[in-house]
C-alpha cells in the first residue's frame, strides 16, 4: 500500500510540476464557464432550470474533452518511462508491477478528479450567482455529471495504460491513443447511427441497440446523464432513447466501471509479461 501511495504521490507532483494539472483545470473551467453562460441564455423560454441545461452542454464537453485529457496523461505512463530509462530502476525496487500501474492510476485519476471538480464546480458556482437557488433534482444531475465524468476519465486512463503497456514506441502509443479517442468518441456513434438509419428497425431491435450502446463508454456516459432525467433528455434530444432504455442507472454505472476494470486488468497483465 505504501508503494502505491508513493507512486501516486509522484504522479500528482509530476502533474503539478509539468503544469498538466493546472492546464487541465483551466481548460475545463474555461470551457465549462463559457458553455454555462452561453447555454443558459435562451432557457427562459423553455422554463427549464439553467443548471440542467448546463448539465446537457457540459456532458457534450465531457465526452470530447475528458477522454482526451485522460489519454494525454496516461498513454505515456509506461512506454515513456521505459523510453527514458526510469522504468528499469523502478522495477528493481521492492514493489511489483501492479503496484506501479495502480499507483499511477490513482495519481492520474486524482489529477483528473481535481480538474473536473474544480472546472465544473466553478461553472456551477458562477451559475448559482446569476440564476439563484437550484432545486434538488438539478443539483442531483449536476453531481451525477461530475461523478460520471470522473468515471469516464478513469475508463480512458485505463485504456491509455493498456496502450502504453503494449507498444514499444512512444509515437505508436500517441497514435493509438488518438485512434481510440476517434473511434470511441466520434466514429462509433456515427457508425451506429448510420447502421440504424440504413436498417430502418428491420433487424436491429431496440434491445439490441441498447446493448450496442454499452460497447462504447462515451455512449454509456451519455445515457447516464442525458437519459437520466426526463426534463434533461428533452433538451438533449434523447427523449426517445430514454423511453426505450431497458437498463437502469445502476446497470449503466456497472458497465462503465467494467470499462475501467477490464482495460486496467489487461494492462496489468500485459505489463507483467513484458521485459523492462
Residues 6+ apart with CB under 8 A from 102: 4, 7, 268
Nearer to other proteins, 93 or 211 (CB): 93
Q: Tell whether residue 3 is a contact of other proteins (CB under 8 A).
A: yes
Nearer to other proteins, 16 or 208 (CB): 16
Q: Tell whether residue 276 is a contact of other proteins (CB under 8 A).
A: yes
User: Judged by CB under 8 A, which of 47, 94, 132, 248 binds other proteins?
Assistant: 94
Torsion from C-alpha of 16, 20, 24, 25, nearest 10 degrees = 20
User: Judged by CB under 8 A, which of 30, 38, 84, 169 binds other proteins?
Assistant: 84
Q: Tell whether residue 85 is a contact of other proteins (CB under 8 A).
A: yes
Nearer to other proteins, 114 or 123 (CB): 114
Q: Tell whether residue 92 is a contact of other proteins (CB under 8 A).
A: yes
Nearer to other proteins, 83 or 137 (CB): 83
User: Judged by CB under 8 A, which of 48, 91, 139, 262 binds other proteins?
Assistant: 91
Nearer to other proteins, 12 or 63 (CB): 12
Contact between residue 132 and residue 94 where contact means Cβ atoms under 8 Å apart:
no
SS3 of the chain: helix, strand, coil, percent, to 5:
85, 0, 15
Q: How far apart are CA 108 and CA 123, in angstroms?
A: 23
User: 159: closest CA among 33, 73, 42?
Assistant: 73
Q: Tell whether residue 13 is a contact of other proteins (CB under 8 A).
A: yes
**Nearest distance, CB of residue 124 and other proteins, angstroms:** 32
Contact between residue 147 and residue 160 where contact means Cβ atoms under 8 Å apart:
no
Q: Tell whether residue 95 is a contact of other proteins (CB under 8 A).
A: yes
**Nearest distance, CB of residue 159 and other proteins, angstroms:** 23
Contact between residue 69 and residue 109 where contact means Cβ atoms under 8 Å apart:
no
Half-sphere exposure of residue 188, counting CA atoms within 13 Å on the CB side?
Answer: 18
Amino acid at each position: 500500500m505504501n508503494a502505491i501511495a508513493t507512486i501516486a504521490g509522484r504522479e500528482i507532483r509530476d502533474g503539478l510540476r509539468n503544469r498538466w494539472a493546472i492546464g487541465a483545470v483551466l481548460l475545463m473551467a474555461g470551457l465549462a464557464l463559457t458553455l454555462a453562460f452561453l447555454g443558459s441564455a435562451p432557457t427562459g423560454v423553455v422554463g427549464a432550470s439553467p443548471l440542467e441545461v448546463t448539465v446537457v452542454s457540459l456532458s457534450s464537453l465531457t465526452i470530447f474533452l475528458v477522454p482526451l485529457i485522460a489519454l494525454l496523461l496516461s498513454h505515456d505512463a509506461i512506454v515513456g518511462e521505459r523510453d527514458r530509462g526510469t522504468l528499469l530502476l523502478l522495477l528493481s525496487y521492492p514493489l511489483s508491477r501492479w503496484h506501479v500501474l495502480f499507483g499511477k492510476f490513482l495519481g492520474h485519476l486524482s489529477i483528473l478528479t481535481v480538474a473536473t471538480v474544480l472546472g465544473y464546480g466553478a461553472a456551477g458556482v458562477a451559475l448559482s450567482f446569476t440564476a439563484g437557488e437550484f432545486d434538488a433534482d438539478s443539483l442531483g444531475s449536476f453531481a451525477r455529471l461530475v461523478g460520471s465524468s470522473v468515471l469516464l476519465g478513469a475508463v480512458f486512463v485505463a485504456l491509455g495504460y493498456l496502450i502504453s503497456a503494449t507498444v514499444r514506441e512512444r509515437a505508436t502509443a500517441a497514435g493509438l491513443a488518438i485512434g481510440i479517442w476517434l473511434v470511441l468518441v466520434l466514429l462509433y456513434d456515427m457508425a451506429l447511427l448510420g447502421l440504424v438509419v440504413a436498417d430502418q428497425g428491420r433487424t436491429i431491435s431496440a434491445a439490441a441497440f441498447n446493448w450496442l450502446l454499452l460497447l462504447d463508454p462515451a455512449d454509456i456516459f451519455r445515457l447516464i446523464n442525458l437519459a437520466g432525467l426526463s426534463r434533461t433528455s428533452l433538451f438533449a434530444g434523447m427523449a426517445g432513447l430514454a423511453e426505450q432504455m431497458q437498463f437502469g442507472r445502476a446497470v449503466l454505472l456497472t458497465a462503465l466501471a467494467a470499462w475501467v476494470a477490464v482495460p486496467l486488468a489487461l494492462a496489468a497483465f500485459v505489463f507483467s509479461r513484458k521485459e523492462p
